[in-house]
Every structure is written in C-alpha cells, then in structure tokens.
Amino acid sequence: MKKIIECVPNFSEGQNETVINAIAEAIGSTTGVTLLDVDPGKSTNRTVYTFVGDEKTVIEGALAGARAARENIDMRAHKGEHPRFGAMDVCPFIPVANVTMEECVEISKTFAKRAAQELNVPFFLYEEASEQAYRKKLPDVRKGEYEALEERLKDPQWAPDFGPSEFVPTWGATATGARMFLIAYNVNLLGTSNQAHRIALDLREAGRGKGQPGKLKDVKGMGWFVDEYNMAQVTVNLNNYKVTPIHVLFEEVKKKADELNIAVAGSEIVGIVPLESLVMAADYYIEKEGLFIYQEEQKVRLAMERLGLNSVAQFNPKEKIIEYIVAQAPDEPLASMTVREFIEEVAARTSAPGGGSASAAMAAMGTGLGAMVAKLTQGVRKFESKESQMQAVIPVLNDLTQSLIPMIDKDTSAFNEYMEGLRMPRNTEAEKVARKVKMQAGLKTAIQVPLETMSLGDKAWDALITTAEHGNPASKSDVQVGAKALETGIWGAFQNVLINMANIEDEDYKAEILAQAQAMEKRSREKFLQVMAILDKI
C-alpha cells in the first residue's frame, strides 16, 4: 500500500500574503504532494503549512517550500510572538500510513542534507532524528531564538548537523526531524470551565505540577468554556495517539465527569486525523460491546457515533481523515473492467493479460464465493449455532478477496517490466550487462507477483474449510465452485512461477522460491480435497 507521510513546516511569515501564497504555491505545485492546510497567524508572524506525500515526494515538497522561503523571507526584519530561529523555522516529518518512524527519520535527514547543500544554510536535527539527548527537544535547539543564534553557532556543541556553522543572517537556522502525529481533540461537557479544567488537570501528563502528575501519558490539556457551543470542553493535544488513543481520553473524561455528576455531550476533532486512530477507537468499542463489525467504513461510523464526533459540527470522514483526503482511484485498468471486457482482453492477440492475471481473478472468485456463503449464513436465525464460526471466517475471506483483486493488474505490470528489459539495446558490452540486469530483475518481479497470489490464496483454505463445515447447506455448490476456483487460481499462479523461474540465474533464489511455491501448491490440492470430502457428506 502507498506510504503517506505528513510534513508540517512552520515559516516565519504570517502577515505578507504575497510571501505566504508563494510558499503555498511552491509546495502545492509539487508533483505527488497534496497541500492540506495553510494557517497564517498575524500576531505570531508565522504560517503553518500541512501537506502529505510519499517518501520521495514529501521531500520534494519540503525543498520547494524551503527554496521559496530562501527567496522571500529575510529574518533580519522578522518580529513575532512565537519562538523562532529561522525562515523555515521547523520542518517535522510524521508517519501517517504504511510508514515507520525510522523511515521518517531517514526522510528528515535526506531533506536536511539536500536543503543545506542547495541553500547553504544550517539545519539541526531534533526529536527522533537527533542522536544527542541535549539537543533533542525543540525548545533546547531553538534556545535564545534567532537573536542568540550567531553566538551559539560558535560553540562546537551547537554545530549544525548539516550545512555551514557560519551565521546566515537572512535565514537563521532550521530544525527538522520526525515526530508522531499530534491530534487536537476536545471533549464536550455540560458543565463549567472550572469543572472542565479540573478534569484536564487530573488527566494531562503534567498534572497539577511537580509531584502531582496526571493519569495519561503524552497528553497536554486544559479546560475552557466555548460560548459558541454553550458548553465547556476538556481540550487536549494527544502527542502520541498510540500511547494515549482518542477513545482512552474520551472514556477517562467520562469517568471523571460521572464523579462530578456532569454529562459528556460528544467530542470534536480539530483538524485532520489518521485513519488508524479511529479504527483503534472502533476496535475498542467492538470488543467492549461484543459487536461484529469488520468493514472499514462501518468501523469509522462506529467510532463517530461512540465518540459523538457530530455533536458540535458535522464530521465528514472524506474531509477529516488523511487517507481519504489524499485517496486516489486505484491504478487497476484490468480489475476495473466489466467481466466481458476483461475476458475479451484476455482473449486478444496480446501476451498480457495472460495466465497470471486470469489465475489471480480465479483465486479472487474462489475466496469471494466463500465470503458470500459465510455472509449468507451469518445472522440467519436457523443458523444461530454457527454464528461464531461465520464471524471468524467472514473478515478473513472478505479481506483476502480484496487483496487478490489488485493482483490481476500486478501480474500484467510485472510482465511488462521484463519486456522493457528485453527491448533494451545490446550493442555494447555495457548495454548487454544493463539489459541482462534489467531482465533478471523483471523475471524476479514476474515471479514474486504470482507467488504473492499463491500466498494470499493459501491463507484462505482454513476459512473455506470452516465455511464448508458450517455454512448454509443450500449453498453447497457455491463452496464447491469456490474451492475449485481457488485451487485452480493457485495452480495457475504456480505455473507462472515455474515458467519465469527457468531463466533465473541466481540458484539460491530459485531453490528458496521453488520450495515455497511447491509447498503451497501441494497444500492447495490437499485442502481442496478436504473441502470436497466435507461437502460430499451433505
């Protein structure tokens, strides 16, 4: 799946619209980047930009913003209420989806190195990217601000991680690094600001001061009264939603509110959130209440309802969840065809799509039929005794079906990579070597894709066997067809592994992959016979 990294650079300009717009244009026009928000502050004389991209494009977006700042901001004339020491004051990279904190650390280092070299300005690493304890926290790195920077750079302990140690008056310095996603979250109370603040003091990590810590880690907060809503709120920043998730904060506020005999009236998320944070909340309530919900859309809806996210303003997932904001239609031309179009495309006078794509489609049909039978059994009164078995297999078969569908296109794309190598020139020795390397890499890709199809199909057998044992007997033939389709899909993918293996020169690779594929193909034949034996008794 696509990696999503958020970048939230803060620039020392919040009053000049021409400069603010120039930086926004530079970031927003970067290919592969989605600019989500531009938030200028006049009194702070600072603008916060929020954008997302993958591991490559997010760096390009940050570089584009830095270039625009270098051209348009002169720190010698800057004044503002917010602490700052540079034109691009801080530039954190934040993991959102399918990316680790360690990857974001490397992204921040790559960005700092490139920006420092190109712009000839100093960059400091902070938070997770810094390896020195005394310069991890942003306030420590930025101590004394711009006005103290010239003298500070003379101290060897404060030599920048990248770029010159000399003071650059027009720029200052930039801090970049990696941190967790910060969620701004408010819980509504039918009470007073004093009551809300009392709860906040009990829960926030700092608590009531030295010796009186609060209950929840990585939480900053306070209480206030919002005239617009005619309600009090416990307003918090969740600095790490994996340490203190949204639902944990919400439930703890409810407990404290009960002690004070006041009511909680829902909550609100300020800004945007990662999908994972709401799925975590949904999973909590699913387990707590014994619910059977497995689809992502329904999980998001459950989290919205239990947290009361529509209480003061409409919570639109497409506008509030990062993954949905940047979602793009999948690049699946084959899988997006009608059945007729796909079959006609397979039948056309072209080598692709071929057996690999057809095998993935058959395997998906197999798991899909299993999912259908399980869903038709689950929730039916006459099959109440089978409820637990069906609830166990439906998510498995449903998810595997969704995972197998993209393999239809992946197989064709993998073949095309090999063909690109085949068409490369071979007039010189260097060209012959490059062509051979490309073809070998293409063959390995062409092997890995059907191997992945086999692996996904292999994971479905136990669930399909359970469906055969406990599913609606009236759907016997559907399970039979599903099992045969799955077995055929796995067998077909196996043949694609074998045919591409013939020209692989890496013998160790061949032996390892062949052992995996043979084991899955053998297991497929055995599991198919097991399904048939179960259904023959019905």
Please identify every residue annotated as catalytic.
82, 411
C-alpha–C-alpha distance, residues 5 and 108, integer Å: 11
Torsion angle (degrees, nearest 10) of CA 412, 416, 418, 423: 160
Evaluate whether 79 touches 166 at the Cβ level (below 8 Å).
no
In this structure, the number of other CB atoms found within 10 A of the CB of residue 430 comes to 10
In this structure, the number of other CB atoms found within 10 A of the CB of residue 441 comes to 14
Of 111, 105, 87, the residue nearest 162 (C-alpha): 111
Q: Which DSSP string do the residues of 516-534 spell out, in sequence order? A: HHHHHHHHHHHHHHHHHHH
- 3-state class (DSSP) for residue 91: strand
Angstrom distances, CA of residue 213 to CA of 173, 186, 209: 35, 21, 7
Write the Ramachandran bin of 121: left for phi over 0, alpha for psi from -120 to 50, otherwise beta: beta
Of 143, 151, 149, 140, the residue nearest 121 (C-alpha): 149
Burial class (CB in 10 A: 0-12, 13-18, 19+), 454: buried
Which amino acid, one-letter code, is at 109?
K
Of 362, 368, 371, 369, the residue nearest 393 (C-alpha): 371
C-alpha–C-alpha distance, residues 374 and 394, integer Å: 6
Angle at 91 between CA 88 and CA 95, to 5 degrees: 165
Angstrom distances, CA of residue 297 to CA of 267, 301, 313, 380, 390: 20, 6, 20, 23, 20
Of 262, 249, 266, 268, the residue nearest 202 (C-alpha): 249
C-alpha–C-alpha distance, residues 322 and 152, integer Å: 39
Sign of CA dihedral 14, 20, 23, 25: positive
Sign of CA dihedral 33, 56, 184, 140: negative
Report the relative pairing of strands 123-127 and 174-178 from DSSP bridges: parallel
C-alpha–C-alpha distance, residues 211 and 192, integer Å: 26
Sign of CA dihedral 224, 229, 234, 237: negative
Of 507, 251, 257, 292, the residue nearest 393 (C-alpha): 292
Of 75, 80, 192, the residue nearest 122 (C-alpha): 75
